[in-house]
Chains A and B, each alone.
Chain A
Amino acid sequence: MKLLRILTIPAAALLAVTAAAAALPAQASHSWGTYHWSRSGQVTAPLISSVTSNWSGNLTVAKDDWNASPYIQSGVVAGSTSTSTRSSCPMATGQIRVCNYTYGNNGWAGLASINLSGGHISRGSVKLNDTYESGAPAAERQGVMCQEVGHTYGLAHQDENFNNPNLGTCMDYTNNWGTNQHPNSHDFNQLASIYSHSDKAAAASGTKGVTTIKTGSTVTMITWAK
């Protein structure tokens, strides 16, 4: 009887926990560490368009995609599209600069960088590597744009296996971006998790499974090319 009790109590507890978990809304868990923007209300960091015309439509779609979150409301503002600007993609305080350039055969499709100040994201940048992406399928270009911009709001990847089924989000590595061009509900849940709390400063931290490089107060996440 004692043995039975030992066995059955945990089983009952497990059932109860399982039932309780099933009653809760799906929890996302792909934040980029605890990085987030300081804000009063929504995150309104403008997206500076330092992209050439063949990317501007992708940026607009990505902006609209992320603005579907009640916690994000970014506009697109025109920025320099000079070669030097697009190459270096300098950050601007309170904004997210998005650039495309032929960065070379270096293995990555996109880089998302955030600068931290006082425990918050203070500025960001996105680099899209035309060496791999200029001739890529339209769906891939949209997906990569969406993913890199998503990183700058504090999201990491939902999945980094190129070969498993699509999750229906741009935050998922894939061989076929057809159904992975836009955020999904898990992304919006994660943004809610990040931004629905009081605006306290975040401790700097990384995210396992994601290649990041920290240089001073800037953290860069790398999206590898297939």
Chain B
Amino acid sequence: MNRLALVLSAAAVLLTGGCGGSPLSSPTTAASEPVPSAAPPTAALATVAAGTVTVTQEGKAPPNTLWYLRIEDTTAKPLLEQAYPGQPISVTRALPPGVYRVIVWHRPCTGDCPTTGEDGLGPLGQVCGAKLDLTSGAKLQATAQIKTDGGCAIKVAV
């Protein structure tokens, strides 16, 4: 698996019913779990006016830290989970209207951060999150504000 740990398509998200399964154990180990689909993505897209969530990073991450992004629904089911070794957080996803939570966290690395696996990764560092209320057709911007000491906060703007 490459550095991308887990990205589930927005189309699959549209078709996911209820809350299923446990939270992902780790973005580097659970990347291949598919979201069950009941119908082709286009069928759902035709009936639901998706909104868009864009997450970007503000501030430079401290050296030797690996940052993660997760978007989960109100049942805490991860819809997207991704690591960003050596690059700023940046993603845009179309999602059906609803309430979501954007979560960002980091782990310290021994030397260079790994692009796969957990070797050299330390314990959970700072974690921050914010709720998003996405309405039909809306475009939400969430900014992960990362401080030099590893602290973080999520700022949400429409």
- What residues make up the interface of A, taking CB atoms closer than 8 Å to B? 33, 103-108, 111, 113, 204-216, 218, 220, 222, 224
Contact between A215 and B121, CB atoms less than 8 A apart = yes
B152 at the interface (CB under 8 A from A): yes
Complex CA distance for A213 and B152, rounded to whole angstroms: 16
- What residues make up the interface of B, taking CB atoms closer than 8 Å to A? 19-26, 72, 75-77, 101, 103, 105, 107, 118, 121, 123-124, 126-131, 151-154
Complex CA distance for A111 and B152, rounded to whole angstroms: 15
Complex CA distance for A205 and B23, rounded to whole angstroms: 8
Complex CA distance for A107 and B130, rounded to whole angstroms: 6
Contact between B101 and A211, CB atoms less than 8 A apart = yes
Enumerate chain A residues within 8 angstroms of B152, measured Cβ to Cβ. Answer: 104, 106
What distance in Å separates the Cβ of B9 from its nearest Cβ neighbour in chain A? 21
Complex CA distance for A224 and B21, rounded to whole angstroms: 21
Enumerate chain B residues within 8 angstroms of A108, measured Cβ to Cβ. Answer: 127-129
Q: A208-B76, A214-B26, A218-B124 are in contact. List 5 more A-B contacts (CB 8 A).
A: A104-B128, A106-B128, A113-B124, A208-B23, A216-B121
Contact between A208 and B21, CB atoms less than 8 A apart = yes
Knowing A205-B22, A213-B105, A214-B25 touch, does A220 contact B127 (C-beta < 8 A)?
yes
A sample of 14 cross-chain residue pairs with beta-carbon separation below 8 angstroms, ordered by A number, consists of A104-B152, A106-B153, A107-B153, A206-B22, A206-B25, A208-B20, A208-B22, A208-B76, A213-B23, A213-B124, A215-B107, A215-B118, A220-B127, A224-B101
Partner of A222, one of B20, B22, B127, B131: B127
Enumerate chain A residues within 8 angstroms of B107, measured Cβ to Cβ. Answer: 215
Complex CA distance for A216 and B119, rounded to whole angstroms: 9
Contact between A104 and B126, CB atoms less than 8 A apart = yes
What distance in Å separates the Cβ of B113 from its nearest Cβ neighbour in chain A? 13
Partner of B23, one of A103, A206, A218: A206
Contact between B72 and A105, CB atoms less than 8 A apart = no
What distance in Å separates the Cβ of A214 from its nearest Cβ neighbour in chain B? 5
Contact between A106 and B77, CB atoms less than 8 A apart = no
Enumerate chain A residues within 8 angstroms of B105, measured Cβ to Cβ. Answer: 213
Complex CA distance for A205 and B88, rounded to whole angstroms: 31
